[in-house]
Amino acid sequence: MDDHPIFNDEHRAIRKTIREFVLKELAPHADEWEEAREFPSRVFKRMGELGFLGLHYPEQYGGEGGDYLCGVVLAEEMTRCNSAGLAMAVGVQTDMVCALLLKTGSESIKERFLKPALRGDKIGCLCITEPDAGSDVAGIRTNVERDGAGYILNGQKIFITNGVRADFALVVARAKGTEGTKGISIFVVEKGTPGFSVARKLDKVGMHSSDTAELVFEDCRVPAENLLGEEGQGFYHIMWELQPERLFAAVSSVAGAQLTLEATLKYVRERVQFGRSIGKFQAIRHRLAGLATEIEAARQLTYYVAGLISAGEFPAKEISMAKLYATQVAYKVADEAVQFHGGYGYMMEFPIQRIWRDSRLARIGGGTDEIMLEIISKQMGL
């Protein structure tokens, strides 16, 4: 990672600073936060103070003015905190919520929401998914009606990361009477707005330190200035937002898989059966060599795409390929790691089971494997 030619000295310096922070201030609390099913919101504040939330955002909005690869470094180093849920929650803030605010927000929105979000003073969530509309974003039913100087929202959102604690939500809704990709808009809804409530905190297989919510909007009045971007263009804004989100998943998956491989190499060297280290058995050695090769291939593809995004391109086919491949490799590495740890791999007191549970999500969230294949095949003209 550190010595890859895509990174320069500035990236290496940022990496060092973030790694020190993650190992000192986050990793020691991972078990406690996983157990508590949440991490304290002050983590956002601390990361904001250190400038980590705004690494690749313009200085005029309180960011550090770095390039996209600075954000890649943050995503990679956050995997060292041993709590993928925490890393995901921060990623939602940096690579979903703030990305959309910067791209589509008016100056007033940027002042009221982007700046405090980059400081870690306000936490945001992005609400696309509904009980009856996940992969099919154009199938959302949450509706919006004009009401004098503002809008009224009615609907339900599910599986929303940061949704329990969020100070504001970016809510995707459609104008009454519209269908498909037309008539969809995005609104910023602040916590405390009458009609906006958290219906429940969802219990998950993994990503335990991250909060996931079901949210309800009942005759929820939103001022006109809280519209994000142009009215009716929300579907296209979301399709844009999903691109950096998917590369974030790919980057985190590769970095996480590398750490899992390293931990597994250590284990197979130390674990002795039949009088020798289990890593000496060809059946295990060759599979580890294969996994290392797949991680390397995923890394090269992911870095190639990160370089394109850094240059201002958002190639949907290659981004989908990177997300598909990197998340599948990460899950395969985690699954094989459990196997190589034997019974210990299945025990809650060993970290491998957590990695296995957590890594399953990336093949679902932000667009499933099947949706990535759909996008790739369409781009191939099929």
Active site amino acids = 245
**Does 321 participate in binding ligand FAD (rule CB under 6 A)?**
no
Enter the tokens of residue 110: 């940027």
In whole angstroms, the minimum distance from the beta carbon of 255 to ligand FAD comes to 19
Q: Which is nearer to ligand FAD, 153 or 371 (CB)?
A: 371
Residues 90-149 that bind ligand FAD (CB under 6 A): 92, 125-129, 134-135
Contact range with ligand FAD by CB under 6 A, out of 10-18, 157-165, 256-264, 278-286:
157-165
Q: Which is nearer to ligand FAD, 77 or 245 (CB)?
A: 245
Residues 234-293 that bind ligand FAD (CB under 6 A): none
Give the containing element (helix H, strand E) for 86. helix 84-91
Give the containing element (helix H, strand E) for 67. none
Q: Which residue has the tokens 């990460």?
A: 330
- Give yes or no for a contact between 155 and 167, defined as CB atoms under 8 angstroms apart: no
Q: How many residues bind ligand FAD (CB under 6 A)?
A: 23
**Does 361 participate in binding ligand FAD (rule CB under 6 A)?**
yes
**Does 368 participate in binding ligand FAD (rule CB under 6 A)?**
yes
Residues 161-200 that bind ligand FAD (CB under 6 A): 161
**Does 159 participate in binding ligand FAD (rule CB under 6 A)?**
yes
Kindly report the CA angle at 92 between 86 and 98, in degrees rounded to 5?
Answer: 135
Q: Is the dihedral of CA 165, 167, 170, 176 positive or negative?
A: positive
Q: CA dist 333 to 20, 114, 208, 356, Å?
A: 26, 37, 20, 9
**Does 371 participate in binding ligand FAD (rule CB under 6 A)?**
yes
d(Cα 1, Cα 3) in Å, to the nearest integer?
6
**Does 220 participate in binding ligand FAD (rule CB under 6 A)?**
no
- Interaxial angle between packed helices 68-78 and 9-21, expressed in degrees from 0 to 180 and rounded to the nearest 10: 30
**Binding interface with ligand FAD (CB under 6 A):** 92, 125-129, 134-135, 159-161, 204, 207, 212, 361, 364-368, 370-371, 374
